[in-house]
Amino acid sequence: MNILLKILTIIVLLTALSEPLTAQQEAVKHRTPGEIVAQSTAQDWRTPAPENTLYVQLPGGTVVLELAPQLAPLHVDNTRKLVRDGVFDNTSFYRVIDGFVAQGGPQGDAPPQVKTGQVTIAAEFTRDTAQHPVDFVPLDAADGYADSVGFVDGFAAARTRDGAQTWAVHCYGALGMGRANESDSGGTELYVVIGHAQRYLDRNTTVFGRVLDGMDVLQKLDRSSALSGAQTVGSSNRIVRIRVGSDLPPEERRPLQVMKTNSDAFRALMMARKNRRGEWFVHAHNHIDVCAVPVPVRLAADTNTQAASE
């Protein structure tokens, strides 16, 4: 286009920008997280593939996990096999430390009896996303632990500046794999973050999923506050069984939906959380940490949306 047209365009744009916002525009701009979720449309949500969900049955209720094969395919595949081998049935959450993690699975001197899975699996501390691209939606906020943070298909994640390596991070509810000193020694030690985000563990263990539903069940487990992480095995900490969602009869699956993290609704949510406004707030930080943006979960056709606390 010619220079005159360019100048005209700029003038029009500047005029538009300098116009005061109408009340309606203001309202749209300052929607609360709750309003954004309430105003979202069906296209903003997805239903996790049943084969990527695990149902962890405890005496106190069921915890539903979503696995992240796009970030840790070996761990997802192996855990699914171990679940089908029954390795986690009749085990326990044997290490539950308040504000830290709940860790569970088989214990004892004899290695668990596996049929199709492996007791230990190669570490996946990061994923080679130069070779295996993922849909990384950046959070526009600085992070102390990584070059860049954001979300991959519902999982809080981080990546190197060049995007060549990506990894899921230790937010509240993250599912990780415990291990011994050797990097490739994990395989059966499932853990979930039950307190403040444990970001220092990023890239030291493999995070390969997160809790979609049932954090309240984990929070009721017997626990230790001891520095040593003294092992607490109470009857309430028993793992009755774990099942892959796709192995359950459809009527036993929970109709959970997760907000798409590449949706307009979620982008609006990130912005709203970065600068909370409205009558109540007096200080907007122009910042949010990645673990303070819970990815909303809801029951299909329900407005009782979870994991998006005020």
Considering CB under 8 A, how many residues would be counted as binding its own copies? Answer: 61
The residue type of 51 is E
The torsion defined by the Cα of 305, 53, 96 and 119, in degrees rounded to 10, comes to -170
Give the end-to-end CA distance of the chain in Å, rounded to a whole number.
48
Residue 210 to residue 13: CA distance in whole angstroms: 44
Residue of 8, 49, 59, 99 that binds its own copies (CB under 8 A): 99
Q: How far is the CB of 270 from its own copies (least distance, A)?
A: 12
Closest distance to its own copies from the beta carbon of 294 (Å): 7
Instruction: Kindly state the tokens that stand for 279.
Output: 């009558």
Q: Select 44 or 213, whichever has its Cβ closest to its own copies.
A: 213
Residue of 3, 41, 108, 144 interacting with its own copies (CB under 8 A): 144
Site for its own copies in 215-274 (CB under 8 A): 215-216, 219-220, 223, 225-229, 273
* Residue placing its CB nearer to its own copies in the complex, 76 or 171: 171
Site map (CB under 8 A) of its own copies, residues 6-35, x = contact? ---------------------------xx-
User: Which of 42, 250, 283, 301 is the binder for its own copies (CB under 8 A)?
Assistant: 283
Neighbouring-strand partners of residue 205:
202
Which residues contact residue 237 at a Cβ distance below 8 angstroms, ignoring those fewer than 6 apart? 58, 92, 93, 94, 96, 104, 221, 222
Q: What single string gives the DSSP state of each residue in 55-103?
A: EEEETTEEEEEEE-TTT-HHHHHHHHHHHHHTTTTTEEEEEEBTTSEEE
Buried/exposed code over 163-196 (b: 16+ C-beta within 10 A; e: otherwise): eebbbbbbbbbbbbbbbeeeeeebbbbbbbbbee
Residues forming beta bridges with residue 241, ordered by sequence position: 57
- From candidates 105, 106, 245, 294, binder to its own copies by CB under 8 A: 294
Kindly indicate which of the ranges 15-23, 69-77, 111-119, 135-143 contains the residues binding its own copies, using the contact rule CB under 8 A.
Answer: 135-143
Least distance between its own copies and beta carbon 243 (Å): 22
Stretches 23-31, 86-94, 130-138, 280-288: which one binds its own copies (CB under 8 A)?
A: 280-288
Task: Identify the CA nearest to 45 among candidates 256, 274, 271, 308.
Answer: 256
- Least distance from C-beta 73 to its own copies, angstroms? 20
77 exposure class (CB count in 10 Å sphere: 0-12, 13-18, 19+)? middle
Site map (CB under 8 A) of its own copies, residues 151-190, x = contact: --------------------xxx-------x-x-------
Nearer to its own copies, 65 or 308 (CB): 308
Q: What's the min distance (Å) between Cβ of 180 and its own copies?
A: 8
Contacts with its own copies by CB under 8 A lie at 33-34, 37, 97-100, 125, 141-145, 171-173, 181, 183, 194-200, 202-204, 213, 215-216, 219-220, 223, 225-229, 273, 276, 279-283, 285, 287-289, 291-292, 294, 296, 304-310
